[in-house]
Chain A
Amino acid sequence: MTRYILRRLIAMPFLVLGIVTLAFLLTTVTKGDPLTAIVSDRQMNDPAAVAAAKARWGLDRSLPERYVIYVGNLLTGDMGTSFITRRPVAQDVFFRLPATMELVLAAMLVGSTIGITLGVLAAYFRNTAIDHAARFFALFGSSIPVFWLGLALLYVFSVKWGVLPGPGRLDPRATPPASITGFMTIDTLLAGNVKLFIDALWHLILPAFVLGWAVAGTISRLVRANMLEVLDREFILTARAKGAGELRVVIGHALRNTLVPTLTVIGYSFAYLLTGAVLTETIFSWPGMGSYAVEAARGLDFPAIIGVTIVGGVVFLLTNLITDIAYVIANPRVRLG
């Protein structure tokens, strides 16, 4: 086990280098000219200004030179400076990553809980009204577009009924706490401000539910299918013959055996949401990675685009690693050499 994890960790830097190289090369094949993002339209006709800008941003160097410089800087944690925000990309990204993380973790919590519960219920009560209702709910969640769902829920719960707050991570009138972890819920607690913590939690509910519902659909369908198979296996009969109650049979014996495929989907969904929560972040004015990526792409902000790609890639790699380790823990039949 330790050897396996070690081997996976050793492979990581090479994979990251691959991601860096690809991300870097991809920006060079795009048609857009980054100068248009840096230099104003009027100055584009001024050769001196263009040359100065090129020199300032290193665009006068050859591609291999730029690559070597970039990788060298990256090793010191420098991801370049954003064309748009004029702040270091690393700083931007690490301000926004925790916001997305917080949202996605909450969404995964909601999605897994709903998904697993529905999947188990649907399988146990197969072909009954409970099954049909659970499947409808799951299908609805994964087929309804998040931008529609997000807007609809915002309208109903925030605008119309006023039971949940509007977009953002905190009440706009509140003073945010000092950013320590970047997780609003944790930072408010660290600041000892319980009222603000509840406000942050309250703001999380809607976006987490919108994102989580989509994931819940996938998870519940998978759990249902696996549960149906496992519930027919003989060891379920053994468990009943032992005198185990139904709850124990279903949770302790059957669900435990469906954990492996479920973990895979949860891990994958987590990584997918981290990089793909763009629409939800936009609707809920969530200052996360998704909205940053969109702004960067729109503005041909190459340093930011590469930065987001690299961080997204690394998060993906780490999630996969954690999923694989969890996989081994859940399935004793997997042997690692």
Chain B
Amino acid sequence: MQQEPLFSVRDLRVSFTRQGQSFEAVRGINLHVDHGEVLGIVGESGSGKSVGMLAALGLQPKTASVSGSAKFKGRELVGMPRSELRMLRGSRIAMIFQDPLSSLNPVMTVGAQIAETIRLHNAGVSKKAAMDRAAELLSLVAIPQPDRRIHQFPHEFSGGMRQRVMIAMAVANDPDLLIADEPTTALDVTVQAQIMDVLTDLRRRLNLGLILITHDLGVLAGHADRVAVVYSGEVVEQAGVDDLFERPAHPYTRGLIASIPNMAEEKERLFSIDGAPPPLGKLPGGCAFHPRCSQVQDICRHTPPPVFADGEHTAACHFATMPIGSAA
């Protein structure tokens, strides 16, 4: 039997109830990630990629209900008592968020915030020792003069530096899994590359499982091992990163790849997928992507697509180019 992965999600569903009506934001996603592996999750905003991961850790909004399964090291997270989940969060599983400007507490020094993470999970550690460790962590993410910087407040740091602080905080307790939700979206392009380097470097050094959530497939190209493409709360395609870029099987993936700016080719206009993702609770029948699909057929309008698989590569489309690379 195959060994159980570090973190796996099976048929995870998240729904919100608003004015007596229920909307499914995440409609049964399946994912897994292992130690030392980088899984990229890509999708448009509102596709459910963040809310799904938050829900797996019990961080969903109060109005949401979660079903399905999310297993971490063989332990079921969905329905786990809050106190047990809390012990995993910040110690075994860490998260960083999109906007480093607002994800740090503005009235606490960064050192105090990192030290808090340490002391929450290591009762015996003194304040002094935790602060010393905070300074070490800052130097781990390449922040100069860490001994001085730990006493500063978030507003005294630049955007990129704040994201480094967030990363330092996330790895403070040597986690097994790090979930990074759009870690570079709010940053300048040059800073984005630095942050990605810090993350991938830490992944190697700490043997982390890393889940990288982004709307930018380009970011994943150089950094992810595998990619899951999410559309309207479902994984529509999942494959190794090279496989995905070379042989995309789902029309949505092909659209995403085509819309990555490419310096080598001179194009008048960047490709874009027409239309917008359907609003929650107003999903079209059949395949959720069909109103925007260039290859739409009658069957797409009324029958949900099956999932085709070719080894590790899966795609949910009636006309998935399966076996992979058959015809596009």
B57 interface residue per 8 A CB criterion:
yes
Q: Is the CB of A242 within 8 A of B108?
A: no
Residue in chain A with minimal CB distance to B172? A242
Q: Is the CB of B95 within 8 A of A241?
A: yes
Q: Is the CB of B102 within 8 A of A233?
A: yes
Whole-angstrom distance between the alpha carbons of A241 and B93 in the complex?
A: 9
B86 interface residue per 8 A CB criterion:
yes
Q: Is the CB of A234 within 8 A of B107?
A: no
Whole-angstrom distance between the alpha carbons of A67 and B98 in the complex?
A: 65
A321 CB to nearest chain B CB (Å): 22
In the complex, which residues 237-260 of chain A have their Cβ closer than 8 Å to any Cβ of chain B? 237-245, 248, 252-253, 256-257, 259
C-beta contact mask, B87-98 vs A, less than 8 Å → 1, else 0?
Answer: 111110011011
A331 interface residue per 8 A CB criterion:
yes
B132 interface residue per 8 A CB criterion:
no
Q: Is the CB of B116 within 8 A of A235?
A: no
Chain B residues whose CB sits within 8 angstroms of the CB of A37 once the complex forms: none
Evaluate whether A257 and B89 lie within 8 angstroms (CB atoms) in the complex, with A237-B59, A237-B97 already known. no
In the complex, which residues 44-103 of chain B have their Cβ closer than 8 Å to any Cβ of chain A? 54, 57, 59, 86-91, 94-95, 97-99, 102-103
B105 interface residue per 8 A CB criterion:
yes
A333 interface residue per 8 A CB criterion:
yes
Evaluate whether A235 and B102 lie within 8 angstroms (CB atoms) in the complex, with A244-B116, A333-B155 already known. yes
Q: Which of B86, B103, B155 touches A234 (beta carbons < 8 Å)?
A: B103
Whole-angstrom distance between the alpha carbons of A336 and B28 in the complex?
A: 54
Evaluate whether A241 and B90 lie within 8 angstroms (CB atoms) in the complex, with A234-B97, A332-B155 already known. yes
How many chain A residues touch the partner (CB < 8 A)?
Answer: 22
Whole-angstrom distance between the alpha carbons of A257 and B155 in the complex?
A: 14
Whole-angstrom distance between the alpha carbons of A35 and B91 in the complex?
A: 80
A330 interface residue per 8 A CB criterion:
yes
How many chain B residues touch the partner (CB < 8 A)?
Answer: 29
Q: Which among A235, A241, A252, A330 has the greatest number of chain B C-beta atoms within 10 A?
A: A241
Residue in chain B with minimal CB distance to A330? B107
Residue in chain A with minimal CB distance to B155? A333
B157 interface residue per 8 A CB criterion:
no
Whole-angstrom distance between the alpha carbons of A234 and B185 in the complex?
A: 15
Residue in chain B with minimal CB distance to A246? B82
Q: What does DSSP make chain A's interface, helix, strand, loop or mixed? A: helix
Evaluate whether A243 and B105 lie within 8 angstroms (CB atoms) in the complex, with A237-B97, A332-B155 already known. no
Q: Which of B54, B94, B153 touches A332 (beta carbons < 8 Å)?
A: B153
B56 CB to nearest chain A CB (Å): 12
Q: Is the CB of B107 within 8 A of A332?
A: yes
Whole-angstrom distance between the alpha carbons of A245 and B116 in the complex?
A: 12
In the complex, which residues 83-136 of chain B have their Cβ closer than 8 Å to any Cβ of chain A? 86-91, 94-95, 97-99, 102-108, 116-117, 120-121
Q: Which among A244, A259, A331, A332 has the greatest number of chain B C-beta atoms within 10 A?
A: A332
Q: Is the CB of A241 within 8 A of B57?
A: yes
Residue in chain B with minimal CB distance to A240? B59
Q: Is the CB of A333 within 8 A of B153?
A: yes
Evaluate whether A331 and B107 lie within 8 angstroms (CB atoms) in the complex, with A242-B116, A242-B117 already known. yes
B169 interface residue per 8 A CB criterion:
yes
A112 CB to nearest chain B CB (Å): 19
Chain A residues whose CB sits within 8 angstroms of the CB of B91 once the complex forms: 243
Q: Is the CB of A235 within 8 A of B105?
A: yes
Chain B residues whose CB sits within 8 angstroms of the CB of A331 once the complex forms: 107
Whole-angstrom distance between the alpha carbons of A257 and B104 in the complex?
A: 12
Q: Is the CB of B153 within 8 A of A237?
A: no
B166 interface residue per 8 A CB criterion:
yes
Evaluate whether A245 and B86 lie within 8 angstroms (CB atoms) in the complex, with A240-B59, A333-B155 already known. yes
11 A-B pairs with C-beta separation under 8 A? A235-B102, A237-B59, A238-B95, A238-B166, A240-B59, A242-B116, A242-B117, A242-B169, A243-B86, A257-B105, A332-B155
Instruction: Add 5 more A-B contacts to A235-B105, A243-B88, A257-B105 (CB < 8 A).
Output: A235-B104, A242-B89, A242-B169, A243-B87, A330-B107
